[in-house]
Amino acid sequence: MNNVGFFLNEAENIIIRNIYILMPKADNGADGISMQESKNIWVDHCTFESVNQTSDYEDGSCDITHASNGVTVSWCHFIKTQKSCLVGHSNSNTEDTAITATFHHNFFDGSSSRHPRVRFGRVHVYNNYYNGCTTYGVGSAYGAMVLVEHNYFDGLVLPTDICTFPAKQSGSKWVSNLQGDVAGYLYAANNELKNRPAKARDPYPMTNVEYKAYGGEKLAQPYTYADFQPAYSYPYDPASEVATVVRNGAGVGKMSGYASAPMAADNGQ
């Protein structure tokens, strides 16, 4: 699909599988796949490729907003995408506390940011392969609860980013990429962190289980793994094997019987 995307509005029980999307231009907020007020959505074995590699040309590759819940994004390949996966529409959309989503076995391949970038919702991020992502890996802001485990981060200055202080040094270029003064929460465990760039700073990766906002106000009791743990059971690959497993299995044409799409689609731009 070239310059064409999917917009799911109040949709239920939808599977989008084995679609190759060359990212549409961001006219009127166009995304590769976006969903609002939707539930039980599965995006699987799709490939999203940037055709421009500039931050304002394309919008989101796969965005989850406006209280969508029960969403899974799995075994997808994101090639040099700029704003890959937004979860939670804006700093004022408190309805997005209803969002629940899982990202697993995705290949973020030279992409820039939002892998995913979460506001308000509860998101589980595991067994993903991050290869040279240029801005940050996983971001958490505005009360989001994000569990990041068993992933493989290769060559990232910021494997994780958090909308809070003192996550980074105040008053420097290391202040968060995520705008706003309300903290996101992120628990990281059992991840592989390879080829740390020389300009990366400690703490590496950044987590937050206790700070409410810039300025250092703390929760009465820090969050623990149990506060982030999803309700479902799930098998996972060891983080050390994720780069190989995901590189070999993610994206279009990697499933038996789905070697190619039956037809092309182009909006004529």
- Mind listing the domains of the chain with CATH numbers? 6-249 (2.160.20.10)
- Which residue in this structure is represented by tokens 């300009």? 199
Instruction: Give the per-residue pLDDT at 190.
Output: 98
Catalytic hit among 17, 114, 122, 201: 114
For residue range 182-202, list pLDDT tens digits in order: 899 999 999 999 999 998 888
Instruction: Give the per-residue pLDDT at 168.
Output: 57
Instruction: Give the per-residue pLDDT at 262.
Output: 60
Residues 237 and 247: their CA atoms lie apart, in Å, by 13
Tokens of 142: 């505005």
Tell whether the model's pLDDT for residue 259 goes beyond 80.
no
Residues 176 and 142: their CA atoms lie apart, in Å, by 13
Residues 17 and 135: their CA atoms lie apart, in Å, by 28
Q: pLDDT category, 2, cuts 50, 70, 90? A: confident
For residue range 69-84, list pLDDT tens digits in order: 999 999 999 999 999 9
Active site residue 114: yes
| Geometric angle at alpha carbon 193, from 137 and 222, rounded to 5° | 70
Closest CA to 79 of 35, 123, 131, 40: 131
Instruction: Give the per-residue pLDDT at 179.
Output: 78
Q: pLDDT category, 217, cuts 50, 70, 90? A: confident
Q: pTM for this structure?
A: 0.94
Residues 65 and 7: their CA atoms lie apart, in Å, by 11
Tell whether the model's pLDDT for residue 232 goes beyond 70.
yes
Instruction: Give the per-residue pLDDT at 174.
Output: 61
